[in-house]
Amino acid sequence: MNAKQNENVEQLYTLFNEYRSAYAAEWERLDRCERVYRGEHWQDVPVQDENEPRPMTPVIQSTIENVRADLMDQMPEAIVLADAPGHERVAEMLTAVLRENHRLGRFDREYARLLHDLLVGGYMVQETGFDAEAMGGFGAAFLRAVDAHNIMFDPLCTDIQDSRAIFKFAPYPRAWFEARYPKQAADMREDMNRVLRMEDNYLSRGNGDTLLLIECWQREYDPEAGRFRVHMCKLAGRQLLEDSRVEKPEGYFVHGQYPFVVTPLFARKGTALGYGFVDMFETQQRYADKLDQIILKNALMASHNKLLVTGASGFDPDDLRDWSKEVHRGENLNGVTWFPTAPLPGYILNYSQGIRQSIREESGSNDFVRGQTYGGVTAASAIAALQEAGSKRSRMVARTVHGAFEEAVRQEIEVEREFCIFPRKVALQNAAGGKAEHAAFTGEDMFELTARNNRLPLEFTVSVRAQRENRFTVAAHNELVLKLVQMGMVTPDIGLELMLFDGKREAQAMMRARAQQPAAEQDGIALSSPAAYGQGAEVNV
């Protein structure tokens, strides 16, 4: 590196150290939230007696998983709509492209990771970009989850797009750098900025000869062009490995935004981060478990009452301790006294249960949301109605997640517009339900030429649809459709189209194939059927 590059690298490491100092307490909070979620919060309490019980009822973990399961039923799916007539086919192809990108990138797995970070840590981070090796080398845009422990935003900004820089990092062994960056690997120095914890309670990972790979994203305003440019460089061991300013001076992405979307659960003033369920209910969980500890200690003490033996009694304490003997010899029974443990007041037991119930109620994870009903409620429509009424908190979180997903998808569309150079085949759903139609899609399809031969980008509307798989909701929906068919308000074929069940497309295809058969052929089948003349009747031709 030349002197100018060395100066820039040192400035970036100085800024990285500033961020790291600001995030030290935040990483401790994230670690504490994970411990409480796993039920390991007793590790934060000093050990006074090795034999004292440390009970833990996983109320927070159960609550989070119930809310997470409800949100998994509402996993978002992007539907692209054209903003102007004549662009419907491009919007349909783009919808198919996004669906294929999310299938290849296993967005269902990424979505589960995002929900965990959102509910436990308080915020989730989505990253958009382009993977040139996907689709057999044709490339495809991606939407991924970023671990909240592995990224830092500007602590001075509430909007990440105003950050001076965004750092994403991960440790790798030196051999990894030697294989990919052999020229810079020889000059890499020991990295004192190891941010990640290198071991947990069960998996030991020695530091070894590892270095921290840092992706530094910077967004700059170009007054001459009147637009923002975003650049990314990779650093490790105080060496510059890659710099997009050299490879692509016009900007890493044309859209000029940081390719990250941060979504807080409960907003925090003065930062883009948030609080999660653990932060809200950690105190109640700790108090409930502390009460359980008191109750268990009282039960253990009551299980072996103390015996007081005076010297004037004439009894041998060791002899009295032997329960196998039927006769004990002594002088005076007044010198032998039992000291039973006094029972705890009944309100302590009720208070412990009340704390746990309040966590479930206040978090929105009540009995109705869990699918538990009382009073003989068995109808699917009634259960679905109770779940909808009791899941206001989950629906609020789902709207927040869907809004962040829409924002990330818009960036994903711009990435496809910029980088999709080679034609890629996409399957379009046939509106009539027949075989899927295949079409070739490129980024050029997302532009149009004006009368003056100017190349303008097409605008689209992104609609987010929830992929609900809740069996009670589906059953309630099918019950409503059946009632409409029975009342004659819709025809059976329309009712079949509206219903939700496995094998629906196959049933529709068989019905269409049967309807398209020639009338004469159907008449021939009907005449040749024994049922046309009565069961078992003989027909002479």
Task: Map 191-210 to HEC letters.
Answer: CCCCCCCCECCCCECCCCCE
Helix (H, G, I), strand (E, B) or coil at 292: helix
CA-to-CA dists, residue 241 to 187, 232, 330, 478, angstroms: 11, 11, 88, 58
Distance CA(405)–CA(403), nearest Å, equals 5
H or E element that contains 319: helix 317-321
Which percentage of the chain shows pLDDT scores above 70? 84
Residue 290 DSSP SS3: helix
- What's the CA gap between 356 and 143, in Å, rounded? 37
Between 179 and 473, whose confidence is greater? 179
**Average pLDDT score over residue span 2-27:** 91
Quick one: pLDDT at residue 136? 80
Tally the C-alpha atoms within 13 A of residue 311's C-alpha that lie toward its C-beta: 0
Give the pLDDT score at 523.
54
Neighbour-count burial for 10-33, b at 16+ CB within 10 Å, e otherwise: eebbebbebbeeebeebbebbebb
* Residue 106, Ramachandran bin (φ over 0: left; ψ between -120 and 50: alpha; else beta): left
The per-residue pLDDT for 167 is 97
More confident residue, 134 or 213: 213
pLDDT number for residue 441: 85
User: What is the per-residue pLDDT for 396?
Assistant: 86
Across 13-22, 242-251, 492-501, least confident range = 492-501
For residues 305 and 82, the model is more confident at 82
Residues in the chain: 541
pLDDT greater at residue 384 or residue 186: 186
- Mean pLDDT for the stretch of residues 212-231: 92
* For residue 368, pLDDT beyond 70: no
Residues 411, 259 contacting (CB under 8 angstroms): yes
The yes-or-no verdict on residue 534 having pLDDT over 50 is: no
Helix residue ranges, H only, 44-181: 59-72, 88-104, 107-116, 174-180
How much is the pLDDT for 21? 92
Residues 258-272: pLDDT tens digits? 999 999 999 999 999
Nearest CA-CA partner of 231 in 221, 250, 217, 214: 217
Chain CA centroid to CA 441, Å: 30
Res 365: pLDDT? 59
pLDDT band at residue 149 under the 50/70/90 scheme: very high
Give 281's contacts (C-beta < 8 A, 6+ positions apart): 59, 60, 63, 359, 362, 363
- Whether 173 shows a pLDDT value over 50: the answer reads yes
When mean pLDDT is compared across 127-136, 144-153, 193-202, 477-486, the lowest value belongs to 193-202
Is the pLDDT assigned to residue 518 strictly greater than 70?
no
User: pLDDT, tens digit, for every residue of 434-456?
Assistant: 556 778 888 888 888 777 778 88
pLDDT-based confidence at residue 383 (cuts at 50, 70, 90): very low
> Is pLDDT larger for residue 309 or for residue 412?
412
Range picked from 113-117, 137-141, 187-191, 533-537 for highest mean pLDDT: 113-117
pLDDT of 111 strictly over 90: yes
Across the chain, mean pLDDT equals 82
For residue 134, what pLDDT is reported?
85
How much of the chain exceeds pLDDT 90, in percent?
33
pLDDT at 194: 54
